[in-house]
Amino acid sequence: MQTVDYVDLNRFMGDWYVIAIIPNFVEKDAVNGIESYSLREDGDVDIEYTFSRGELGKKVKRMTARAFIHDRKSNAEWRVRFFWPVKFPYLVIDLDDEYNYTAIGVPNRKYLWIMARTSSISDETYEAILERLQGKGYDIEKIRKMPQRWDMGSK
């Protein structure tokens, strides 16, 4: 699957709200998802994924992982390890020029994360992302929006 040409890792770091997904088994009922990236001194990336399960306002769950930059020329192809020794492919397949939104995919197109720096994006932007993802072979009927509501004093 084609990745973006280049990811500036420093600009990519920080919090990304999960706008929509093709979920894995852990994320089936996830809401208020946020992926947080921190660049390590060794060039790898620490990832913290927080979300609530089922209902907005429920107890927050945290998952941590370590990402290894697989393609140092583009920085767009990573391998992510949630548990040793298994590493999963992680491909930056869409990225806004201003780093306001991104889409992360996997080679078999079984999972997908559309994320943004804010908890919502315009319908126009969302539809444009979906159109590009469909062009990359994703079945956009499988993509579901992840509820994001931050009026509970959280983020």
- CATH number, residue 86: 2.40.128.20
Q: Report helix, strand and coil shares of the chain as percent, to nearest 5.
A: 15, 45, 40
> Bigger pLDDT: 87 or 102?
102
Q: How far apart are CA 140 and CA 137, in angstroms?
A: 9
Domains held by the chain: number: 1
Q: Using the predicted structure, report yes or no on whether residue 14 has a pLDDT greater than 90.
A: yes
Among residues 141, 124, 122, the alpha carbon closest in space to that of 133 is found at 141
pTM, whole model, 2 decimals?
Answer: 0.91
Q: What is the pLDDT of residue 55?
A: 66
Q: What is the pLDDT of residue 56?
A: 64
Q: Using the predicted structure, report yes or no on whether residue 10 has a pLDDT greater than 90.
A: yes
Across the chain, mean pLDDT equals 91
The residue assigned the tokens 């991104």 is 102
| Residue 118 located in a structural domain | yes
Q: Using the predicted structure, report yes or no on whether residue 115 has a pLDDT greater than 60.
A: yes
Q: Using the predicted structure, report yes or no on whether residue 150 has a pLDDT greater than 80.
A: no
| Residue 33 located in a structural domain | yes
| Residue 3 located in a structural domain | no
| Residue 91 located in a structural domain | yes
Q: What is the pLDDT of residue 22?
A: 95
Residues facing residue 14 across a β-bridge: 37
Q: What is the pLDDT of residue 154?
A: 45
Q: What is the pLDDT of residue 155?
A: 45
Mean pLDDT of 90-106: 97
Q: Using the predicted structure, report yes or no on whether residue 87 has a pLDDT greater than 70.
A: yes
In degrees, rounded to 5, the angle at the alpha carbon of residue 119 between the alpha carbons of residues 47 and 3 is: 55
| Residue 2 located in a structural domain | no
| Residue 104 located in a structural domain | yes
| Residue 4 located in a structural domain | no
Give the count of beta carbons closer than 10 Å to the beta carbon of residue 90.
23
| Residue 1 located in a structural domain | no
Where residue 153 falls among pLDDT bands split at 50, 70, 90?
very low
pLDDT digits (tens, 9 = 90+) for 32-67: 999 999 999 999 999 999 998 876 666 788 999 999
Give the count of beta carbons closer than 10 Å to the beta carbon of residue 143.
21
Q: Whole domain around residue 113: which residue ranges?
A: 9-145
